[in-house]
């Protein structure tokens, strides 16, 4: 083959490879979404993000959890309980799949189960329960008054059960996923019911935002 033709063909192939690479990168790299696009995915932001009143909580290692511990990464919180027969295990399974699908981006976010049934949900029980889904998931519990105040701050009301003769009682609660930003502020929520693909798409964009 003539050297001139060889280099011309080579240059064309190289150019096409660069164009194809840029095209694929455009479609595979998470992009910034508009507020309306986030809403279409079920995400509603609080503008501006709200400071949280400090409360006394305990994590699944039986250590005090400070709200400053939310800082440094995005945080996704689900308020539920280990005796929950339906929505809780379903939601935790969805979060398990979402975390897996995030790949390396999963290092930029923490997932929490905040117990709305602290009387039965001891730190040890939370840890055993969460290990069924992901060892990195974090459980939070504490006094019922502290949990209720926390839930109220982030707009996820529930009906506390303080004394019950029924050992199999349930707790009425919402299914929203709360978002706390890397500054430790209440940033918004995912409205229930949750579509795993939509939550994943929203988190991919959120975790890769430049500001």
Q: Which two tokens stand for residue 38?
A: 């986030």
Give the other-Cβ count within 10 Å of 6's Cβ.
10
Q: What is the pLDDT of residue 25?
A: 37
Strand pairing of 74-80 and 64-65? unpaired
Where do the structural domains in the chain lie, given as residue ranges?
1-30, 34-207
* DSSP state string for 10-45: HHHHHHHHHHHHHHHHHHHS-----HHHHHHTTEEE
Q: Which two tokens stand for residue 40?
A: 């279409």
Rounded to whole angstroms, the maximal C-alpha distance in the chain is 91
Q: What is the pLDDT of residue 130?
A: 98
Element (H or E) spanning 141, and its range? strand 138-142
Nearest Cα to Cα of residue 134 among 182, 89, 195, 200: 89
Handedness of CA 154, 44, 87, 61 (dihedral sign): negative
28 burial via Cβ count (<10 Å: 0-12, 13-18, 19+):
exposed
How far CA 138 is from CA of 17, 59, 98, 130, in Å, comes to 44, 7, 15, 7
CATH topology for 34-207 is Glutaredoxin (3.40.30)
Residues of the chain with pLDDT under 70: 1-31, 210-211
Residue in the structure block whose two tokens are 């009682």: 169
3-class state of residue 189 by DSSP? strand
28-38: per-residue pLDDT in tens?
Answer: 455 689 989 99
Q: What is the pLDDT of residue 110?
A: 98
3-class state of residue 56 by DSSP? coil
Distance CA 41, CA 35 (A): 10
Instruction: Report pTM.
Output: 0.84
* DSSP state string for 110-122: EEEEEES-TTT--
Q: What is the pLDDT of residue 12?
A: 54
Under 8 Å between Cβ of 52 and 186: yes
């Amino acid at each position: 083959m003539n050297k001139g033709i060889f280099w011309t063909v080579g240059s064309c192939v190289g150019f096409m490879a660069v164009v194809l690479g840029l095209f694929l990168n455009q479609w595979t790299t998470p992009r910034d979404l508009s507020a309306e696009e986030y809403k279409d995915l079920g995400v509603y932001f609080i503008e501006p993000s709200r400071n949280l009143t400090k409360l006394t909580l305990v994590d699944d290692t039986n250590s005090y959890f400070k709200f400053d511990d939310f800082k440094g990464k995005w945080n996704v919180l689900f308020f539920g309980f280990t005796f929950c027969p339906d929505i809780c295990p379903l939601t935790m399974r969805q979060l398990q799949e979402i975390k897996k699908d995030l790949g390396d981006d999963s290092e930029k976010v923490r997932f929490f189960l905040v117990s709305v049934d602290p009387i039965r949900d001891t730190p040890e029980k939370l840890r055993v329960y969460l290990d069924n889904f992901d060892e990195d998931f974090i459980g939070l519990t504490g006094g019922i008054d502290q949990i209720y105040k926390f839930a109220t701050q982030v707009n996820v009301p529930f009906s506390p059960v303080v004394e019950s003769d029924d050992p199999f009682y349930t707790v009425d609660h919402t299914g929203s996923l709360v978002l706390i930003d890397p500054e430790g502020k209440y940033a918004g929520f995912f409205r229930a019911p949750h579509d795993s693909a939509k939550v994943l798409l929203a988190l991919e964009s959120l975790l890769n935002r430049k500001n």
